[in-house]
A and B are shown apart, each in its own frame.
Chain A
Amino acid sequence: AQSVAQPEDQVNVAEGNPLTVKCTYSVSGNPYLFWYVQYPNRGLQFLLKYITGDNLVKGSYGFEAEFNKSQTSFHLKKPSALVSDSALYFCAVRDPWGGGSQGNLIFGKGTKLSVKP
């Protein structure tokens, strides 16, 4: 069965420091991977995705993510965190070959990122 794990409920980072939000996945085939961000009282906004090709994917707001097939991970990173990056981050996977799911997104539980000045 498809699944996504975000092992950290919360990540605390000082402004200006690099940040990493972890995500691991389990699918039967090659996955399509996504990161979304949710700011307070807002809907989910798309950040970036991995479909194929380069393992390092760049997205919105200076975020990037590294796909590691051997470790089945897709960690979200940013070289220098901003206070405004504080939000809830969701990793999601879509298995294009998963039967019966019609390619629905499976979400992790979310990681709250807190960036302090």
Chain B
Amino acid sequence: EAQVTQNPRYLITVTGKKLTVTCSQNMNHEYMSWYRQDPGLGLRQIYYSMNVEVTDKGDVPEGYKVSRKEKRNFPLILESPSPNQTSLYFCASRIQGGMNTEAFFGQGTRLTVV
């Protein structure tokens, strides 16, 4: 089954404690991205990657890092989480050249930073 898998689904952590949210897709997609969803703001892109070792900032990259060492994986790293990073996070993937193709989304990771 084609899917994007995120882990963990729920995470509560303390300010400053480094964490990683994993994302994996099994569709051989080149393009992957991370979004955060906040009430009244919709989804905002954090980072995206067009292929292995190619990443770039989205609209709200501050406080986040990503890496793309393998095509299927695109982890999101919070080196020093802060309460304003409490949010619902989604990973997505699609074919890189497919401007007219839809993106596939993971189930989401609800992060709470206290």
Residue numbers of A with Cβ under 8 A of B are: 6, 9, 32, 34, 36, 41-46, 49, 51, 90, 94, 96, 102-105, 107-110
- A42 to B, closest residue via Cβ: B107
Contacts of A110 in B (CB 8 A): 42
Contacts of A94 in B (CB 8 A): 99
Q: Are A105 and B103 interface neighbours, CB within 8 A?
A: yes
Within 8 A of A (CB), among B56-105: 56, 58, 90, 92, 99-100, 102-105
Contacts of A36 in B (CB 8 A): 105
- B54 to A, closest residue via Cβ: A102
Contact flags B14-28 to A (C-beta < 8 A → 1, else 0) = 000000000000000
Interface of B is mostly: strand
Contacts of A32 in B (CB 8 A): 99-100
Number of interface residues of B (CB under 8 A): 25
Kindly identify which residue among A9, A42, A49 contacts B100, using a CB–CB cutoff of 8 Å: A49
Contacts of A109 in B (CB 8 A): 40-42
Kindly identify which residue among A45, A46, A96, A104 contacts B33, using a CB–CB cutoff of 8 Å: A104
Nearest Cβ in chain B — how far from A32, in angstroms?
Answer: 5
Q: Which of B42, B45, B50 has the most CB of A within 10 A?
A: B42
Nearest Cβ in chain B — how far from A71, in angstroms?
Answer: 21
Besides A32-B99, A102-B50, A107-B44, 10 other CB < 8 A contacts? A9-B40, A43-B106, A43-B108, A44-B43, A44-B90, A45-B105, A46-B102, A102-B56, A104-B45, A107-B42
- A96 to B, closest residue via Cβ: B99
A88 and B99 CA atoms in complex are apart in Å by 24
